[in-house]
Amino acid sequence: MRDGLEMEKTILIVEDDQGHADLIRKMLVRSGIKAPVRHLADGQEALDFFFDPGPETSPDKVAKGFVVLLDIRMPKVNGIEVLDCLKASSITRDVPVVMVTTTDDPTEMDKCFALGCRDYVQKPVDDAKLLGIIKELLEVS
């Protein structure tokens, strides 16, 4: 049933750069992660996804159903704003968020941690590191 639990969680890649998203997807496939992967093209799509819930994102499913890989620099709504919204809502508060970003600005990093992200990974991504983080988050029930 361990697998079943794993299966329940979807990896959400919030990333405006299609290439970056593809690279992560390839890396996940290559490493044998079976979890469904979904790509959202910017922050607005991410907010719409969570706060305009459909059958996928009913409140009871949300908290335990997603691992979010969140880029920061995106058009419309940026990653930090998305993180802020997610952490501000009681429904999405517990969704684990990993920042995956080109930014290495310590102040931004500090800000993300302060808002409640689980981890912070710089691009170009260290595959092993990101994989370790994702696996860990997928295993937590």
Contact residues: another protein, CB under 8 A: 17, 19-20, 23, 26, 30, 73, 102-105, 107, 123-125
9 or 20: CB nearest another protein: 20
Give 53's DSSP letter: -
- The structure tokens 């009871």 sit at 60
91 or 121: CB nearest another protein: 121
SS (H, E, C) 13-25: EECCCHHHHHHHH
CA distance 21 to 127: 13
**At closest approach, how far in Å is the CB of 47 from another protein?**
22
105 or 139: CB nearest another protein: 105
**At closest approach, how far in Å is the CB of 93 from another protein?**
29
Q: 21, 50, 1, 24: which is closest to 129 by C-alpha?
A: 24
**At closest approach, how far in Å is the CB of 81 from another protein?**
16
22 or 139: CB nearest another protein: 22
Look up residue 106 and give its amino acid.
Answer: P
